[in-house]
Structure 1
C-alpha cells in the first residue's frame, strides 16, 4: 500500500490533521467574509479571540493572510492553498462518501456537499454559492445562454463568479416574474451574474397576477416570444428548490391555491412548478418560463439548495429531475435526505 505525502505526515504526527483542518476552515471563513475582524471570526469559527489572534499571526507570517485596519483578507497564496487542500479535506470529512451515496440513490449526474447547515448558518449559504461558482466555472466551457432562478441561495453565487473569460455568456431569468423581494428576483440575479462576469443579460418582467385570458395574450407579445426562443436555446440552468408551503406564502398565493397545495401534498417547488413526494407536478403558477420538458434537454443543470428543512422539498423535485442535474447542497440537507430515503 502506497501512502500520499499528506498521509505519511499524518501517520507520523496525527495531531497535524486537526490543526490543518482548523487553519483550512479559518482560511475559508476569511475568503468568504474578508476583510473581516477577529471578533466576527471568533464567532463564526467557535474559537476564542485569543486563539484566533495566535492563528492569524502565524498565518500572516506564512503569507496566507493580510491584516490591515479594515480586517483580515486572504492572499493569493492562501487561496491557492485552499484549492490544493480541498479534495483531501473533503475525503477525510466523509462528505464525499455521503455525496456518492446520494448520486447512486437519486440517479443524478453528481452531488457536492458543503459543510454545515444553511438553516443555522448564513456562512453555509455562502459556501453553497462559492462551490456552485467553482463548479460552474469548470463546466461552462462552450455553453452560452444561462438561465437562473430567484431566491437567496442562487443570489449568493455571483459574488464568487469574477472571471474575464465568461464575457461571452448571456444570463436570463428562468421565468418571468415581479413581486418578490427585489434583490431575490431572477431578473436582478441575472443582472448580478452578468455584472460580475462582465457578460450580458436580458430581463423579463411578468406579473404573476395575470388572469388566464391576459396570460394567453401576453405570450404573443414580442418580449415573451423572444424569451420563449431563448429558453429553447438555453444551455445551462442554475436554480434553487423551495419548500412548497413557504413559496406559496412568499408569493402571497390565494387561500384556495394554498389549499390545493395541501390537498395534493405538494412538498417542493422549482420554476413555478410544485411537486409531490413522487416528483409529480401537482400545481403550477401562471407564468412564462422554462418548462420541465425543456429542462430535460438542457446539457448543464445545477440545483442548489441547503438546510435540513429543505430535505423533503429536494427529494420531491429530484424524484423527476433531469439525470444531468448536479446537486449542490449542505450536510444538513444531505443527511436528512438519506434518513428519509
Structure 2
C-alpha cells in the first residue's frame, strides 16, 4: 500500500479517501497550549489548581478547530480573567506517549504542546488577575530554579527551556519531552536551574564611595565592539556572574585594579577605557560593591580561576539579557541606565536583541 507524503496531496490510486483519512486519524495526537508569564524580576507565574498536586503554567487543551495561539488567549481569559493578544511563540514540545504519566484508560497518544510568551507583567497587570473559581486556587510568581520542585518533571523542563529561549531571543525552539533538540549554551549548562544571585541593593550612580565604607566587591560591564557584554557562567551550575571579585592586598585598595586583575584571572580578559559607574550599598553589611564599564580588547585561552578552580564558560549577551540572569530587583533598571550611558561614552553602539554567543577560543578586537 502506498500513501502520499503530505496531507494536502490527493490520496494515491492505491488508497481511497476514506482509508487515507482513517489512516491519518489513527495517528492523531493531543494538542495543548500554554502561556509563560513573568513579573519584572523574571519570576514565573504558576497556577495552583484544584485537580492536581503540581503547579501549572496558564493553558490547557486546544479546542477542536482552534489554533494554538487562539487557545492560549482563551485559556488566559478563562483561567486568569485577563484579555491579551498572544502572538509570540517560545517553544513547541513533542510530548511522547512515555513522556507523561497518565492513567492507562486515557490511552495517551502523545501531544504537541505550544508555549507562548505572555510577557513580563508589571504590578497593575498582576493586580488585575482574577483566578477562575473552582479551578484555580491562586497564582504565585516563583524563581525559575524552584520550577522542578513545584511542577511535574516534564512541565518544569518545558518551562525552563521556554524561558531560556525567551532570554536567548533566537525565536521558538523545538523540544522533545521538554528538552531542546538543538540545545544552546544556556540549555547545555542549565542556566536558571540554580538560584539566581539576589542583590536588591540601592545603586548610587557615579557617586564616590564614602570615606570609611569598605569596598567588598568590584565588577565590570565589559563591552565587546558590537555592544554586548561579557558574562561568565559556572560550568557545573550555569550560575552567572560579571567579571570581577573581591579585593586582594596586592590591589592596594584600588577597586579598578581589582576588576582588571579579576577579569584577567577569571576570563583571560583584557580591558581598556575603564569608567566608574557607581556602587551598591548593602544595609545588612556596611560596605560598597562598585561597578565599572570598560571595553574588551582581547580574550586569551580559557583557564581555571585561581580563586575558585573553575573554568568559566564565557558568553556575550546584551546588557538586558545579562540582567535576566540575576535577581537584582528594581535597582537593576537604574544600573542598566548607567551602563548604557557609559557605553555611549565609550563610543560603542547599542546591541540589538540576538542569541548569546559562546566564546570558546581566544579573540581580539
TM-score by length of 1: 0.30
TM-score by length of 2: 0.29
| Greater RCO (CA < 8 Å, at least 6 residues apart) | 1
Larger relative strand fraction = 2
Larger relative helix fraction = 1
The structure that has the greater radius of gyration is 2
